[in-house]
Amino acid sequence: MGLISALFIIAMAFVTATLSGVFGMAGGLILMGGLAFVLPVSAAFVTHGALQLVANGWRAVLHRQHVRWDIVGWYAVASAAAGGVVALLAIVPSKPVLYLLMGLVPLLLWLPQRWINLDAAKPRQAFISGLLVTGLNLTAGVAGPLLDIFFVRTSLARHAIVATKAATQVFSHIAKMLVYGAPLLLSRPQDLPPWWVFAIAVPLSMAGTVVGGWILDRITDVDFKRWTKWIVTGIGVIYLIQAAQLFLRGGA
């Protein structure tokens, strides 16, 4: 890996952790696209899982008083089941397919709320969210907009939403690291960034999470929901354009 690519990953770790700290999902979407730009797909999945595990885990710790642990418990059980199924299927998307899926995922935010009757606070639906969100996370690399659908009709405030989503995503990212990391370490460990990139990026992810939390305290619930939708949609459009270019070039 070249120095420029390594520095790019380190910078992305801080910036995207800050965004995730504010909006709960935009950062992970940007980070996955950036990593896929400079790394092979499997390595991008593992690196994304490691950095987002730190960012989400630290965010859950910082806002632990707001976490709904009953939701997290049901989600964790389902996440383990979804990870096992995807590991057996051994599916690794190509880069064009990955960008296509990442570009389509934000469209979920535009589904009319009257069509959605989901509530993560209900045990059965918390379990379903774990299955679906982890499954999408392991194929598209990100699943924040899908997870958000399960929180649209909850009565939770923005701090509880961000904290609970962060805690659930810890399990999705653990699944991602296990499903893609084990085969990668056995076959192509050289595809991963060097250890020093993680050594620098991990504390920067934690710092970005703190900065994001500081910003979150200063915005309203209305601004939180409005800006989340538009930022994530804009990112999705960029990824759809990138996917089209890759398909036209016959990229793998």
User: For the segment 125-177, what is each residue's pLDDT rounded down to a tens digit?
Assistant: 999 999 999 999 998 888 877 888 888 777 788 788 889 998 999 999 999 99
Structurally, how many domains does the chain consist of?
1
Section 34-49 average pLDDT: 92
What integer pLDDT is reported at residue 201 of this predicted model?
A: 93
Q: Is the pLDDT of residue 252 over 60?
A: no
Contact 123, 77 (CB under 8 A): no
Both tokens assigned to 46: 């593992």
pLDDT in tens, 80-118: 999 999 888 877 888 999 999 999 988 887 877 677 778
pLDDT at residue 66 is higher than 80: yes
Q: Which among 186, 193, 184 is positioned nearest to 92, based on CA atoms?
A: 184
Residue type, 104: L
d(CA 23, CA 211): 12
State the pLDDT at residue 145: 79
The C-alpha atoms of residue 50 and residue 57 are separated, in whole angstroms, by: 10
Q: Average pLDDT, whole number, for the chain? A: 87
pLDDT tens digit string along 164-188?
998 999 999 999 999 999 888 888 8
Q: In terms of C-beta distances under 8 Å and separation of at least 24 residues, what long-range contacts does 86-91 make, across chains too?
A: 86/135, 86/138, 86/139, 86/175, 86/179, 87/178, 87/179, 90/183, 91/139
Which range marks the domain in which residue 189 is found? 3-249
**pLDDT at 251 > cutoff 70:** no
Please give the structure tokens belonging to residue 159.
């701090």
Q: With pLDDT > 70 as the criterion, what percentage of the chain qualifies?
A: 95
Is pLDDT at 222 greater than 80 in this prediction? no
pLDDT of the residue at 84:
92
Inform me whether the pLDDT recorded for 20 exceeds 70: yes
